[in-house]
Amino acid sequence: MSSAPLTVVFDLDGTLVESAPDLVEALNVVMAAEGCPPIPMAEVRGMMGAGARALVERGLAAAERTPAKERVGELYALFLEHYEAHIADRSHVFPGVDAALDRLDASGAKLAVCTNKLERFAVKLMGELGIASRFGAIVGGDTYGVAKPDAAPLLGAIAQVGGDPARAVMIGDSGTDVAAAKAAGVPCVVLSFGYTAVPPRELGGDVVIDHFDELEGALARLGLA
């Protein structure tokens, strides 16, 4: 096995951060603007992973609304405006994140984030939660002009921290993360408590874990630790 340092790339929403409460709030501002009832949190959790614009479109589709493209653009702008102002009102890191990052750091791993959030929103959220400085790179869905499941943002995140894709792993919660990892030729650990419409164990990840305390065990199973 190579002794090059391991690069660990984390997804953000539903992986490092329980961001659903603030995302649901912003989505329901949009729904109200369209005269639709709010969508319950449990349902919204299955709509995330492909970025905020997809979330707005999926919310509207769930209410059987098909506004003209221009109106969808307005509603997306409304979502962003509300979400930016309330991005960390109720969002918080998942249990065990800080300790897991400490352990990875101590092991010499390079740490990065690859999210489908807009980069500036990811930086803002992580800054407000006090975790931005723990990562050598924060790549958003707009950083490289293509979002996950494309391999480019994941490979970009690995490159930004000077990592080697042959010694890297993606940690995520959705099919988007698994697909991006496969496209990049990188193994994927799936966390079971995130946001996905498909059961986590059916996403096709290499290992599924239920808590960050199990992360090193998962990396060992992949031959990476």
Ligand X SMILES: O=C(O)COP(=O)(O)O
Which positions touch Mg ion (CB under 5 A)?
A: 11, 13-14, 173-174
Choose the binding region for ligand X from 7-15, 34-42, 84-92, 182-190 (rule: CB under 6 A): 7-15
Query: Is 142 annotated in some ligand binding site?
Result: no
Window 75-114: contact mask with ligand X (x via CB under 6 A): ----------------------------------------
Burial of 85: CB neighbours in 10 Å, binned 0-12, 13-18, 19+: exposed
Nearest by Cα to 125 from 54, 50, 196, 21: 21
Q: What residue has token string 């905020």?
A: 52
Query: Is 213 annotated in some ligand binding site?
Result: no
Q: CA of 25: how far to CAs of 12, 89, 117, in Å?
A: 18, 10, 16
Nearest by Cα to 167 from 99, 80, 122, 107: 107
11 classed as catalytic: yes
To ligand X, the closest distance from the beta carbon of 116 in angstroms equals: 4
Choose the binding region for ligand X from 28-36, 76-84, 86-94, 115-123 (rule: CB under 6 A): 115-123
State the Rg of the chain over Cα.
Answer: 17
Residue of 6, 8, 9, 13 that binds ligand X (CB under 6 A): 13
State yes or no: residue 181 binds ligand X (CB under 6 A). no
Q: CA of 133: how far to CAs of 95, 101, 126, 130, 172, in Å?
A: 19, 11, 8, 7, 20
Q: How far apart are CA 177 and CA 147, in angstroms?
A: 10
The size of the interface with ligand X (CB under 6 A), counted in residues, is 13
Q: Is the Cβ of residue 5 or residue 127 nearer to ligand X in the bound state?
A: 127
Residues annotated in a binding site for Mg(2+) = 11, 13, 173
Contacts to ligand X by CB under 6 A: 11-14, 48-51, 55, 115-117, 174
